[in-house]
Amino acid sequence: MKAFWTSMIALLALLLSVYAAAADNVGDLKQGETIIREHCNSCHQTGNAGKSGTGGAPSFAAIAQMESTTILSIRVFLRTAHINKTMPNVMLSEDEVDAVASYILSLRK
Ligand code: HEC
C-alpha cells in the first residue's frame, strides 16, 4: 500500500512537471492574493520575511526566499497530502493553485 502511494505521488509529480513545462508563471496574482487572504493568512503572514505566523507557519515572504521554492514545488506541496504535519490539506482547483504559487513567488526579492 505504501509503495502504491509512493508511485502515485511520483506519477503526480511527473504529470505536474509536464504541465509546469507547458505553462509556467501563468497564475493570476490578484486571484492568488485573494485566496491567500481568505484561506492562508490565519497561519502564514505575507510580509515580514523571517518572522513566522501562527503555529510555526513560515511567512510567504520567507517561503519565497527559499532557494528550493518554485512554481512546481508549491504546486506539488499544495496537491499532496500532508501526513503528520501541521499544515492542513487545502482543496484548491488547478487555477487557484497556480494563482497562489505565482503570488507567493512574486514576493521573492
Ligand atoms: C492552520 C495553519 C495553516 C494554514 C491555514 C495554512 N498553512 Fe501553509 N503551512 C502551515 C505550517 C505550520 C507549515 C510548515 C510545516 C509544514 O511544512 O507542514 C506550512 C507550510 C506551507 C508551505 C511550505 C513551505 C515549505 O517548506 O516548502 C506552503 C507553500 C504553504 N504552507 C502554503 C499555504 C497556502 C497557499 C495556504 C492557503 C491556501 C496555507 N499554507 C494555509 C500552516 C498553515
Query: Mind listing the pLDDT tens digit for each residue in 2-57?
Result: 777 777 667 667 666 656 555 555 789 999 999 999 999 988 988 766 666 777 78
| Atom 24 of ligand 1: nearest residue by CA position | 63
- Burial annotation 75-99 (CB, 10 A radius, 16+ → b, else e): bbebbeeeeeeeeeeeeeeeebbbb
Best of 29, 38, 41, 44 to mutate for ligand 1, by most ligand atoms within 8 A of CB? 44
How much is the pLDDT for 84?
Answer: 66
Read off the pLDDT band of 80 (50, 70, 90).
confident
Q: Which of 36, 39, 43, 94 to mutate to test the pocket of ligand 1 (most atoms within 8 A of CB)?
A: 43
**How far is 36 from 108, CA to CA, in rounded Å?**
16
Ligand 1 center from residue 89 Cα (angstroms): 9
Q: Which three cell numbers stand for residue 71?
A: 512554481
- The candidate with the shortest Cα–Cα distance to 92, out of 5, 34, 44, is 34
